[in-house]
Chains A and B, each alone.
Chain A
Amino acid sequence: MNKILEIKNLSKDYHTINGEISAIEDISLDIYKNEIIGIVGSSGCGKSTLLSILSGIEKQSSGEIISNNNNFSYMLQSDALMPWLNIIDNACLGLDIKHLKTPENIAYVEKLLSNFGLSAFLKAYPNNLSGGMRQRVALVRTLATKPDIILLDEPLSALDYVTRLTISDDIYKLIKKSNVTTILISHDIAECISMCDRIVVLTKRPGKIKNIYNINLKNKKTPSENRKDKLFVHYYDLVWGDLDKDIT
């Protein structure tokens, strides 16, 4: 398998008025091309911090990230759609900032939106969209710049259960079609197992790697099909057993 990204001994301390907070500690991880890798861990263990460092928003305190000029695209924990931009302009925001808003790229975005059944809403504004639609637009915005690696921070957590199931299928198909490597944070273990090729379990803060599981379901299909696999419950129990459950 092709390594696309190497994370070596990554640590991050935040300096706050109450002193130093160590958010993640000594994380080493190889990411392979086109895989979907899930990250689970208790709340506040440093998952978002890890993605922020990979995307370049935050700087690590120590350790290094070895990548060969990969383009990252980050889908944040909130959809962060701009209420003053219509759907197509929201989806093209990254292209616009990077001065890549060419007719071809706009056509590509329109195609992605229509994949998601949003063709009729190109000129609509985010306030008129349901939570599920907004999340789809945010995902299209993430994919619009044709990144090599996408970082998804709880892309579905704001949605109701039924919407989550259908959108996770949609997202999954789109990811597989776009040949993009995906790092997915989710606090929903079942969702993670149904979508990912591997799952990294982090300890509670400061997050360290506790375990990495390869998810070898019989024949991988869509996430909702995967949930019916015999081994699904087996993986669920493994990951569940690893998670720190003490409420802090």
Chain B
Amino acid sequence: MKLEKKIILITQIFITLSFIIIWEILSKQGIINSFIFSSPAKIIKCLYELYIANNLWIHIYVTLKEIFISFALGSIIGFSFAVIFYSIPILKKIFDPFLTILNSLPKVSLGPLLIIWLGANIKSIIVMSLLINTIVTLISIYNGLINTDSYKIKLFHSFNATNYQILTKLIIPHNIEVIISSLKLNISMSLIGVIMGEFLVSKAGIGYLILYGTQVFNLTLVMTGIILILIISFIIYQIITFFEKNYNT
């Protein structure tokens, strides 16, 4: 590791630890109200209790499953529509204003409708998340596709390539970096969408933990949920970075 990297990492760990320690001291000393602000010790205890009650993994599993499903569906749908719009420019022109409006609509406002249409179940959560991640994926991949080098497309045409060959042998490899970065964006959108969906309807999951904690005024539970989300998004980020590095070498 280079010296600069070491300094950065050590400082980051230092900041995190000091934050936790100061937080703990402040609430132990009664300087901040530990009922409202909780404390690291309380959060760890809460995690432990969830674990003992055999609930911790269930909530994490439910949320991860929802994230994965909506990430996979969002990627496939977004990518397919990006390719369709790229192949048939008139469709893109027709749907452009609808996409813009839909994209700027706060999706959470559709929540109540989703519950009525789809029921208070995982379907509503997935659809909520799809509303958030699909359009973003579609737009970012589409913008990559239209920037494909026109000379290369001409070259393929000059060899009488089929559209399928142009897609698989030119467009996708040419845009692999754009596709990866839009998948990265998609996974954080999925996380946002799933938590939002769990706020609306859920019987399990981290969003449910947070919502339940709020209702019974157990703010330690709320904090625990937030910490869990942070940990999940950190791990997902690490996994993506790992794949990205392996792809680049």
Interface residues of A (CB under 8 A from B): 52, 55-57, 72-74, 76-78, 80, 82, 84, 93-94, 96-98, 145
Chief secondary structure at chain B's binding surface: helix
Chain A residue with minimal CB distance to B162?
A97
Listed by A's residue number, 27 A-B pairs whose Cβ atoms lie within 8 Å are: A55-B158, A56-B157, A56-B160, A57-B154, A57-B157, A73-B158, A74-B154, A74-B155, A74-B158, A76-B151, A76-B154, A78-B149, A80-B152, A80-B154, A80-B155, A82-B173, A82-B174, A84-B173, A93-B169, A94-B159, A96-B169, A97-B160, A97-B161, A97-B169, A98-B159, A98-B160, A145-B159
Contact of A57 among B152, B158, B170, B173 (CB under 8 A): B158
Chain A residue with minimal CB distance to B152?
A80
Does B23 belong to the interface (CB within 8 Å)? no
Does B68 belong to the interface (CB within 8 Å)? no
Complex contacts, A98 vs chain B, CB 8 Å? 159-160
**Alpha-carbon distance A72/B157, docked complex (angstroms):** 12
Complex contacts, A94 vs chain B, CB 8 Å? 159
Complex contacts, B155 vs chain A, CB 8 Å? 74, 76, 80, 93
Please, how many residues of chain B have a CB less than 8 angstroms from a CB on the other chain? 17
Complex contacts, A78 vs chain B, CB 8 Å? 149, 151
Does B156 belong to the interface (CB within 8 Å)? yes
The answer to whether A56 and B173 have CB atoms under 8 Å apart is: no
The answer to whether B151 and A97 have CB atoms under 8 Å apart is: no
Contact of B151 among A56, A80, A84, A96 (CB under 8 A): A80
**Alpha-carbon distance A78/B149, docked complex (angstroms):** 10
Contact of B149 among A80, A97, A145 (CB under 8 A): A80
**Alpha-carbon distance A82/B165, docked complex (angstroms):** 14
Complex contacts, B176 vs chain A, CB 8 Å? 84
The answer to whether A77 and B160 have CB atoms under 8 Å apart is: no
Q: Which of B136-179 contact A (CB under 8 A)?
A: 149, 151-152, 154-161, 165, 169-170, 173-174, 176
Complex contacts, A93 vs chain B, CB 8 Å? 155, 159, 169
The answer to whether B154 and A52 have CB atoms under 8 Å apart is: yes
Contact of A82 among B152, B154, B160, B161 (CB under 8 A): B152
**Alpha-carbon distance A74/B155, docked complex (angstroms):** 7
B224 to chain A, nearest CB (A): 45
Complex contacts, A80 vs chain B, CB 8 Å? 149, 151-152, 154-155
B156 to chain A, nearest CB (A): 7
The answer to whether A82 and B158 have CB atoms under 8 Å apart is: no
Complex contacts, B158 vs chain A, CB 8 Å? 55-57, 72-74, 76
Q: A55-B158, A98-B160 are in contact. Are A77 and B170 (CB under 8 A)?
A: no
**Alpha-carbon distance A73/B157, docked complex (angstroms):** 11
Complex contacts, A52 vs chain B, CB 8 Å? 154
The answer to whether B156 and A97 have CB atoms under 8 Å apart is: yes
**Alpha-carbon distance A93/B73, docked complex (angstroms):** 33
Complex contacts, A55 vs chain B, CB 8 Å? 158
B233 to chain A, nearest CB (A): 31
**Alpha-carbon distance A223/B3, docked complex (angstroms):** 57
Complex contacts, A96 vs chain B, CB 8 Å? 169
Chain B 113-156 per-residue mask, 1 if CB under 8 angstroms from chain A, else 0: 00000000000000000000000000000000000010110111
**Alpha-carbon distance A82/B169, docked complex (angstroms):** 10
**Alpha-carbon distance A145/B159, docked complex (angstroms):** 9
Complex contacts, B157 vs chain A, CB 8 Å? 56-57
B58 to chain A, nearest CB (A): 43
Chain B residue with minimal CB distance to A55?
B158
The answer to whether A97 and B165 have CB atoms under 8 Å apart is: yes
Complex contacts, B165 vs chain A, CB 8 Å? 97
**Alpha-carbon distance A56/B160, docked complex (angstroms):** 9
B220 to chain A, nearest CB (A): 51
Q: Which of B209-248 contact A (CB under 8 A)?
A: none
Chain A residue with minimal CB distance to B173?
A84
**Alpha-carbon distance A123/B190, docked complex (angstroms):** 40
B228 to chain A, nearest CB (A): 39
**Alpha-carbon distance A56/B155, docked complex (angstroms):** 11
A46 to chain B, nearest CB (A): 16
Nearest 9 CB-CB pairs, A to B? A74-B158, A78-B151, A97-B159, A80-B151, A94-B159, A80-B155, A97-B161, A55-B158, A84-B173
**Alpha-carbon distance A108/B176, docked complex (angstroms):** 31
Complex contacts, B151 vs chain A, CB 8 Å? 76-78, 80
Complex contacts, B149 vs chain A, CB 8 Å? 78, 80
A47 to chain B, nearest CB (A): 15
